[in-house]
Chains A and B, each alone.
Chain A
Amino acid sequence: MKVYLKVWRQRHARDAGRFVDYTVDGINPDMSFLEMLDVLNNRLISQGEDPIAFDHDCREGICGTCGLYINGRPHGPVARATTCQVHMRHFKDGETIVIEPWRADAFPVIKDLVVDRSAFDRIIQAGGFVSVNTGQAPDGNAIPIPKEDASKAFDAATCIGCGACVAACKNASAMLFVAAKVAHLARLPQGRIEARERVLNMLTQMEEEGFGGCTNTGACEAECPKAISLENIALLNREFIKAKCAL
């Protein structure tokens, strides 16, 4: 199969950037989207051109490194999948595919399709952890946790921090990411101890990074490869209210 690509090329952070057209022919429909880009990059390298920079790591949908905005959707046209899990059979032969980087001022473009997502790391550093004093590992069943709480905490913990929620949100808000991290720990007794500091610190950091606010459009939930629910944002809001009322 053959596809026509419009790829965002930007030499460095301060370059203005532009779309460049490429035609890629002889694609196997069972290639992944990233393999199709590999084929194109091999050609570019053999022609002595600069290959397209894009993020990728595990290529099995669990690391959260890949992220391309394909035809108006983060991670492309497949629901509940990262870009590496999107295959060329999901596109039509002869289709024009527009590939853009995540667009958010908090995620500045480093080169081409690679953005700097370290804002997420700083949000985690602000409170997305449980302070642990070293010592013996506690017994696994010492703290009983209701099944529902454990399951919901685990659902929230499946967030891979890819940033699709920010990319999908019309406000470039990181609320779903922050909500997943806050909810994951807020639902477990180990996380309750620092719940107040956590929610306030993470939200403050989110704002300082320049992410927008949530308007409950639900685009993040629909585009999240791990299907993190908006329910977590409601919980985040509750945690915020609780934290502010406990002054």
Chain B
Amino acid sequence: MELKPQHGLLKSLVAKKILMALTGLFLCLFLVAHLSGNLQLLIPGYNGRLQFNSYAVFMTQFPLIKIISYVLYLSIIIHVLDALVLTIRNRRARTVDYAVKSGYGSTFASRNMGILGTLILIFLVLHLANFWYKYKFGEMPYMVSPEGYFVSQKGEAIAGAVLRDGHLWVNGVDKGPAMKDLYEVVRLAFSQLWIVAIYVLSMIPLGYHLAHGFQSGFQTLGLRFGRAFSLIRTAGLLFAIIIPLGFAIIPLIFYFFPEKLN
């Protein structure tokens, strides 16, 4: 049998799907890391605030994390663009649609991954504007210790330090950059009901997207061997419930039980 002339690898539907699966599963891993980082917001008192803000410093400055963050941005962009290309291609395969459709044999999530993904993307833009953009490029409050001193990025409260251009100065000596108070930005955001509502409601499309996407990723990569796959399917459903629930709990606690965090 002779090999037919092949189109470029990225023109192949299966290759495009594999790219969706790889970026999607990487984003699943990211969700785990992101949630475990965010749960530090629930540690009460000054210690919690200090730990979360130190974590934010670590996440934006540690070189390896920086590289991973660029892989992450790239994964999101590829996942979105690849989905767009595939969706257009798939729509073109049936230009005259049925008058009656039943959806038999498929889940709501599997039939609506594009819409669910778009909702997640809208949330992602809002979310990045709220925190990520503010932290990197916007006006930020700075971390203050219980004694009223500014705190360095190493987490030390420096007595008598003055804040100028984001750095701490004692008697004209630069003691290094000051720690930004991301925790405070989160607290202020989650004291507004409409923001809490958006954050909690956005976890619903995320849950549905994961419910199909997790197991679908494994299927696309061909990682389906007998009974192990029903384990993957169950794990995917649990993942789709636990991760969004974990994220949703944070704004809910900030809004309804702020005293628990003092």
Contacts and interface: CB of A to CB of B under 8 A. Distances in A.
Nearest to A127: B1
Nearest to B102: A72
A216 B98 contact: no
B219 interface: yes
B1 A198 contact: yes
A151 interface: no
Contacts of A217: 105-107, 110-111
Contacts, number: 160
A51 interface: no
- Centre residue among A100, A212, A231 by max chain B CB count within 10 A: A212
A160 interface: no
A168 B229 CA distance: 23
Interface stretch (B13-21, B31-39, B144-152, B245-253): B13-21
Interface in A188-238: 194, 196-198, 200-201, 203-207, 210-223, 230-231, 233-238
A103 B94 contact: yes
Contact of B219 (A6, A72, A234): A234
B105 A213 contact: no
B115 to A, nearest CB: 12
A242 to B, nearest CB: 9
A201 B1 contact: yes
Contact of A213 (B90, B99, B102, B223): B90
B104 A235 contact: no
A104 B94 contact: yes
B14 A203 contact: yes
Interface in B75-96: 86, 89-96
Contacts of A104: 93-94
Interface string A12-50: 000000010000000000000000000000000000000
- Say which size band chain B's interface belongs to: 35 or more
B12 interface: yes
A102 B120 CA distance: 33
Contact of A126 (B4, B103, B107): B4
Contacts of B7: 204, 207
A73 B86 CA distance: 24
Nearest to A211: B93
Contacts of B18: 237, 240-241
A135 to B, nearest CB: 18
B3 interface: yes
A205 B2 CA distance: 13
Given A72-B98, A204-B6, A207-B7, A223 B104 contact: yes
B220 interface: yes
A105 interface: yes
Interface of A: 6, 19, 69, 71-73, 98, 100, 103-106, 126-127, 129, 131, 168, 170-173, 194, 196-198, 200-201, 203-207, 210-223, 230-231, 233-241, 244
In the A-B complex, the 5 residue pairs with the closest CB atoms: A222-B105, A238-B222, A212-B93, A72-B102, A234-B224
Given A72-B103, A218-B110, A237-B219, 13 more contacts: A73-B102, A104-B94, A170-B111, A197-B1, A201-B3, A204-B6, A212-B90, A222-B104, A231-B224, A234-B224, A237-B220, A238-B222, A244-B9
25 contacts: A69-B98, A71-B100, A72-B98, A170-B90, A170-B94, A172-B93, A173-B90, A197-B1, A200-B4, A206-B13, A211-B93, A213-B89, A214-B220, A215-B110, A215-B113, A216-B220, A217-B107, A217-B111, A222-B104, A234-B222, A234-B224, A234-B229, A237-B219, A238-B222, A240-B15
